[in-house]
Amino acid sequence: MHDFVGQTAIVTGGTRGIGKGIAESFLKAGARVIVTYSSNDAAAAQFKQDNSEFAENIDIQKCDVSKYADVEKFFEHIDKQYEGFEILVNNAGIRKDAVLAMMRESEWHDVLNVNLSGIFYMSKFAVMSLMQRRYGRIINITSPSGKFGFEGQANYAAAKAGIVALTKSLAKEVARRGITVNCVSPGFIATDLIQDLPDELRGSYIAQIPLKRFGKPEEVAACVLFLASQEASYVTGSTVEVTGGL
Ligand SMILES: NC(=O)c1ccc[n+]([C@@H]2O[C@H](COP(=O)([O-])OP(=O)(O)OC[C@H]3O[C@@H](n4cnc5c(N)ncnc54)[C@H](OP(=O)(O)O)[C@@H]3O)[C@@H](O)[C@H]2O)c1
């Protein structure tokens, strides 16, 4: 296990699902963790309760990453409360699936705003701070949808492909400052996000996965923690797939 004692990690959408798995893995590895969420106060309270043994290392903040003003306020809080941070995991994401011809304009914009613009806003403020430290790790969560495209996911796939391009560009911009920027691409991970999949579709997806099962948040977290570690110093602009071989 990597050692993150003395380091601070920000995990967006860290109160549920994959983000929760990532935040909990950082806590177990000794990091201070600042988790954000958008609206589900009950899940945030549950996160706090589940991780009460790490209470002094947890800061939970409501911050809608799709709103520039929220993100600006969030980083004002970080500047006021902490001497800095080393790690940003841009994990927050939503799905609003519909075939393109039937997709509402709002479904297009909502998904692009949270999944792609949110990463731009968070990274913009984060790099200003990380550049001063001349050290940093940014990990963005993309999806196989951005690589292959899936029916009904033109908005989600476009956002996730955009994340890969943003990651590669930013990696080049900040490499000289000791900051690495990478993506992790989880396959089907058992979380609320894919709970609505009909059984038939779920079965057909599992049949296509060489490991014949959906993944777990902690399996994605293991990869995120490697990329966030000092040992991953020569990895940047990359996408690591955690897909069971999909
Ligand atoms: N699950 C999969 O199979 C899978 C596969 C590939 C990629 N991914 C990606 O992995 C990431 C996490 O997915 P998940 O399955 O863990 O999702 P999830 O279980 O639905 O959890 C989403 C988390 O993101 C937060 N969030 C949503 N909108 C937000 C916003 N506007 N601002 C800040 N936080 C926001 C949620 O906060 P609230 O609790 O307040 O709603 C929640 O904490 C996403 O980027 C997703 O696209 C997931």
Average confidence (pLDDT) over 132-138: 97
pLDDT band at 197 (very low <50, low <70, confident <90, very high): confident
pLDDT of residue 196: 87
Mean per-residue pLDDT of the chain: 97
The residues spanned by each domain of the chain are 8-241
Nearest to 147 by CA among 130, 135, 163, 161: 161
Q: Is 23 in the pocket of ligand 1 (CB under 6 A)?
A: no
Q: And the tokens for 131? A: 């550049």
**Which residues have a catalytic role annotated?**
156
Q: Is 209 in the pocket of ligand 1 (CB under 6 A)?
A: no
Residue 103's SS3 state is coil
Average confidence (pLDDT) over 183-202: 92
Average confidence (pLDDT) over 94-117: 98
Average confidence (pLDDT) over 235-245: 98
Q: Is 243 in the pocket of ligand 1 (CB under 6 A)?
A: no
Q: Does the pLDDT value for residue 1 go beyond 80?
A: no
User: Exposed, middle or buried by CB within 10 Å (0-12, 13-18, 19+), for 235?
Assistant: middle
For domain 8-241, say whether CATH 3.40.50.720 is its number. Answer: yes
The secondary structure of 77-89 as a DSSP string is HHHHH-S--SEEE
pLDDT in tens, 43-55: 999 999 999 999 9
What pTM was computed for the model?
0.98
User: Exposed, middle or buried by CB within 10 Å (0-12, 13-18, 19+), for 69?
Assistant: exposed
Q: Does the pLDDT value for residue 181 go beyond 90?
A: yes
Residue 244's SS3 state is coil
pLDDT of residue 175: 98
pLDDT of residue 195: 87
Instruction: Return d(Cα 136, Cα 90) in angstroms, integer.
Output: 14
Q: Where are the beta strands (DSSP E) in 95-238?
A: 136-141, 179-186
